[in-house]
Structure 1
Amino acid sequence: MESNKKVLFFNAKREKCDSDSPHLGLATLAAVLKKSGYEVLVVDYQFKPNAPSPEIFLDDFKPDVMGITLYTATMNEADKIIKQISKFDIPILVGGPHATLYYNDLVNKANYILIGEAENIIEETVKKANIHSKGLIIRSEPPDPKNLPFPDFTSFFGYGDIFVYPLLTSRGCPYNCSFCAVRFVSTRKWRPRWIEDCIEEVIQAKKVLKSMDSVVIYDDNAMFRKDHIKKFLNLYLDKNINLPLTIINTRADGLDNEIISLLKKAKCPSIGIGVESGHPEVFELINKGETLEDIVKASKLIKKHKLSLQLCFVIGLEGDSYEKIQSSIDFAKKINPDHIYWNMITPFEGTKIREWYDKNGSVFDLVNHSSYVDGDFMCEEPCAETPEFSVEERKKAYILAILKTNYTTLKFRDTPRLFFYIKEYGFYKEFICWIPNKLWVNIKKPFLLLRLAINIYPEVGMKGLIKRIKQY
């Protein structure tokens, strides 16, 4: 066992997208290392964007090894961190999704590039870490999550401010959606944890994280086995956890009446479903393994239980065009959810959609590009196009979709941008129709917030309620 060897981890921030919860992967790596006697500090700038600069932590903590988790959307910020810490002549490890997909691009930036889930290789790598002129690429076999220690969030700078607790009940997703890179990061093998361990983890976390007021399940596919998630939800309720629970990455075919009923009892504030495209031909090409009818059915069930419904669409999938986006808009209006996310496609290396774009279109620089947008008329420059669906048409499709379906809050600073788009694309009629719908949403919002307050105040108190309201 190593003694007194120190490891410092960083997670770079992403512009305009702070996280309410800390990085779960780094918390698990911290737990693995601490179990073997290492001292670990995690600085998560996504969670604590105003944390001091990396140099401050290096001067105070004096690590023997440093690690950075990399995402394509945060590479500009990550490069800044790498540049700053490289001056300290300490071995640097990198891992995460971007390192897994683009490891060859990193051999001159770090001493070790860890591919895949790193729990099985992190201790040995840290133990032997030294400085190389060229980075060593290390591949890891995916661990059995049943054998991993509970994540350690007390290693995080500012852990006392954690109020959204991230939880995994499984890893991996067996589906093969054309646009998804999960299979490269956490494999297509679905690997569940023991449900009893998941519940015990939450119980222990409540004792340590005094600000914790909700739980979010971040599984790649939590509902792949319905009996798995039902067992979790039943035990979550039986143990009287009394914290609002949310599950992300929800598939329509993974929902049924019993699951939604259990989620409501667990104070789940909303359920989001990935639609991707409402155009039948485009939907078929992305190979989701479910049907548009599955999505309609699940949406009706969610509404039946009076839970908030969110839908996610992607602009620029295989065979997509400006005209076909209208089918997605029509599909969205037919279901009439409470909120809609319109995301721009990011064709990651190795995915089927990247192969399709290499044959049928163009892909530009993906670094620091994020597919995620939130209906605020902040349309990022698309990173791909085809002759049938140009960059300009993609931006136009996004603004049209927002005006027709997503009556989001218009911030004062966004007003000039919106007016520019209206003039640029001639969306005068759409804007006039958007105004009364937006006003109606504003009228309904206080009543929705009141219902939220009534539902969750007994569990989270005033401080937790204020934090949750800020998300709406």
Structure 2
Amino acid sequence: MFVLLINPPWEKPSDDNRARFKVVSCLPSLGLGYVAASLEKAGLQVRILDLNIDRMTRRELAVYLEKMDPHPRWCGITSAATTLYAALDIAGICKKAFPEARTVLGGVQPTVTPDLVLACEDVDYVVRGEGEEAMAELAKGNPSEKTLGLSFRQGGRIVHNPDRPPIENLDMIAFPAYHLFSIRKYHPPEALFRRLPAINLITSRGCPFRCTYCATQTIWPGKLRLRSIENVIDELKILTQRHGIREISFSDDTLVTIRPRIVQLCEDILKNKIDITWSCNAIVKFIDEEVLGLMKKAGCHHICYGIESADVQILKNINKNIGLADAERAIKLTKKAGIACRASFMYGNPGETEESMRRTLDFALKTDPDFALFNITTPYPGTPMYQWAKQNDYLLSEDLSLFTASKCLMRLPTASPETIEAATAHAWKTFYKRPRYMLGRLAKIRSWYDVRAYAKAFISLMRFGNKKASK
């Protein structure tokens, strides 16, 4: 039996700050990779079609699918908020090309809004949460009513089976089916990688924190689950030796939470002479100088810290359990270690004011990370913030194509959408157009790759500034 898995294209609106400043990445869907490996382990044939790599028009996709031989019996499509409409459209195209096939949607958005997804008649099933076991059971013929974590239509109503318990031992899951991806076509965000080919890898599922803007607890509820470092090292060996990977983007919500674990990871990378450079996310309060030195030695060249705001009350409002002193210390120590530091901030949090946004920009300028991101707080479905916005009638739109972190979707009583969007644009320009910053980046150029990356980012910034100035 043949199963087709599809990653829908992420369409980048012209006002999306991530695209404008070259922070967009094109990396494989690890979710599809894990599901594909589970299906192969169950004895099924699998193909992955990544429409972010193999770009096609609707007509081209329809022709491509019609020519597919053999036809798949199952079509699995992953979806996040911004790709849901594309995913539903692709489900319809699959239904026309393969009338006998069953369509299954999974991923973040179908998990948090299964009823919305199943309102589309082209979707037969929604897999909520982890999809490895549920998809394999379905494809092998397990009755839908007995498949945990499954939602479907039956007798004119939508049925939600009980949730599937989280997979406790992550080491038991087969590594993603990397051989089904065109690995050399992928790359992390511009200016945030050192070598190619590159790929993403995740060492854990879940997060120990409960920030109100994050849906991780909805997707992966309960405690933080960790793969063993031995298991991670085995995967790194396969990636480097079999696929020639030289750069890893660790996709954990935060890689640095347990000190002995990150120490072991770095020591084992060095002990096994795994030749990679890598980047990761981290929490500021878990960083110290010794760990940073070891991370640098093991190949880490870039760390992203989610700081979000420099206003203490705002941090409390979004349940962001960090201290500003820790954030300032982490940025300083990371730069001292010779690791590029990226700090992420959000404007438009509950309780946001013009003063709190000025305070955040002042903090970014004072601490001077190598890169700063200024996004607009987005109340994604499945998050406590979304529920808060709905209950208080602050939500301006539920058009998921607008959920790009670049448009204000909440009308707060403390700051208008226009004020928040203007402050965000001002923060981008103020941070990056400083002569001190530009000279500092020039001084760090070490290769033609750096020249190309910085030149592209600078041109994008200039265009952005001119566009805003003309409005």
The alignment's TM-score, normalised by the length of structure 1, stands at: 0.82
Q: Distance in 2 between matches of 1:257 and 1:246?
A: 17
Shift in Å at residue 315 of structure 1?
1.2
Corresponding position: 1:391 with 2:417: yes
Name the residue aligned to 2:173: 148
Match of 1:278 among 289, 294, 310: 310
Change (3 A) 1:92 1:128: same
Corresponding position: 1:180 with 2:214: yes
Shift in Å at residue 140 of structure 1?
2.4
State how 1:354-369 maps to structure 2 within 5 Å.
Answer: 354-363=386-395, 364-369=397-402
Shift in Å at residue 15 of structure 1?
2.1
- 8 Å CA contact 2:306–2:344 kept in 1: the answer is yes
Residue range with higher mean Cα deviation, 74-83 or 50-59:
50-59
Q: Distance in 1 between matches of 2:241 and 2:455?
A: 24
- 8 Å CA contact 1:171–1:219 kept in 2: the answer is yes
Change (3 A) 1:471 1:124: farther
Aligned identity (percent) is 25
Shift in Å at residue 161 of structure 1?
3.1
The answer for unaligned runs of 5 or more in structure 2 is: 13-18, 145-151, 187-196, 459-471
The higher relative CO (CA closer than 8 Å, separation ≥ 6) is in: 2
Shift in Å at residue 264 of structure 1?
1.0
Q: Distance in 2 between matches of 1:114 and 1:235?
A: 36
Residue range with higher mean Cα deviation, 27-36 or 68-77:
68-77
Residue range with higher mean Cα deviation, 239-248 or 46-55:
46-55
Change (3 A) 1:446 1:323: closer
- 8 Å CA contact 1:253–1:298 kept in 2: the answer is yes
Residue range with higher mean Cα deviation, 32-41 or 297-306:
297-306
* 2:104 partner SS: strand
- 8 Å CA contact 2:301–2:338 kept in 1: the answer is no
Match of 1:85 among 94, 118, 126: 94
* 1:258 partner SS: helix
Q: How many residues align?
A: 418
Corresponding position: 1:64 with 2:61: no
- 8 Å CA contact 2:207–2:224 kept in 1: the answer is yes
Name the residue aligned to 2:469: none
Name the residue aligned to 1:449: 445
Shift in Å at residue 218 of structure 1?
0.8
Change (3 A) 1:104 1:132: closer
Match of 1:246 among 279, 284, 292: 279
Name the residue aligned to 1:35: 41
* 2:400 partner SS: coil
Shift in Å at residue 467 of structure 1?
8.9
Superposed CA offset, 1:327-357 (max 9, x none):
1011111101111111111112342222332
Match of 1:312 among 344, 347, 367: 344
Matching residue's letter, 2:3: V
Shift in Å at residue 66 of structure 1?
0.2
Corresponding position: 1:14 with 2:33: no
* 2:208 partner SS: coil
- 8 Å CA contact 1:172–1:186 kept in 2: the answer is yes
Which aligned segments of 4 or more residues in structure 1 are displaced greater than 6 angstroms?
129-135, 451-454, 465-472
* 2:180 partner SS: coil
Corresponding position: 1:45 with 2:47: no
Name the residue aligned to 2:461: none
* 1:319 partner SS: coil
Name the residue aligned to 1:75: 84
Shift in Å at residue 102 of structure 1?
0.7
Name the residue aligned to 2:356: 324
The alignment's TM-score, normalised by the length of structure 2, stands at: 0.82
Change (3 A) 1:70 1:137: farther
Name the residue aligned to 1:421: none
Q: Distance in 1 between matches of 2:183 and 2:66?
A: 19
Corresponding position: 1:292 with 2:324: yes
Superposed CA offset, 1:129-159 (max 9, x none):
8996766545322113121011111123x34
- 8 Å CA contact 1:285–1:318 kept in 2: the answer is yes
Name the residue aligned to 1:429: none
Change (3 A) 1:75 1:468: farther
Matching residue's letter, 1:404: T
- 8 Å CA contact 1:345–1:371 kept in 2: the answer is no
Shift in Å at residue 49 of structure 1?
3.8
- 8 Å CA contact 2:315–2:321 kept in 1: the answer is no
Change (3 A) 1:31 1:331: same
Matching residue's letter, 1:287: N
Name the residue aligned to 2:462: none
Q: Distance in 2 between matches of 1:445 and 1:224?
A: 30
- 8 Å CA contact 2:266–2:294 kept in 1: the answer is yes
Match of 1:303 among 319, 322, 335: 335
Shift in Å at residue 325 of structure 1?
0.5
Name the residue aligned to 1:113: 126
CA RMSD of aligned residues (A): 2.7
Q: Distance in 2 between matches of 1:59 and 1:321?
A: 56
Q: Distance in 1 between matches of 2:276 and 2:269?
A: 9
Corresponding position: 1:213 with 2:246: yes
Shift in Å at residue 112 of structure 1?
0.8
Residue range with higher mean Cα deviation, 141-150 or 90-99:
141-150
* 1:143 partner SS: coil
- 8 Å CA contact 1:120–1:143 kept in 2: the answer is no
The answer for unaligned runs of 5 or more in structure 1 is: 373-379, 408-433, 455-464
Residue range with higher mean Cα deviation, 224-233 or 52-61:
52-61
* 1:230 partner SS: helix
Change (3 A) 1:466 1:242: farther
Name the residue aligned to 2:205: 171
Name the residue aligned to 1:353: 385
Q: Distance in 2 between matches of 1:149 and 1:468?
A: 38
- 8 Å CA contact 1:21–1:165 kept in 2: the answer is yes
- 8 Å CA contact 1:113–1:136 kept in 2: the answer is no
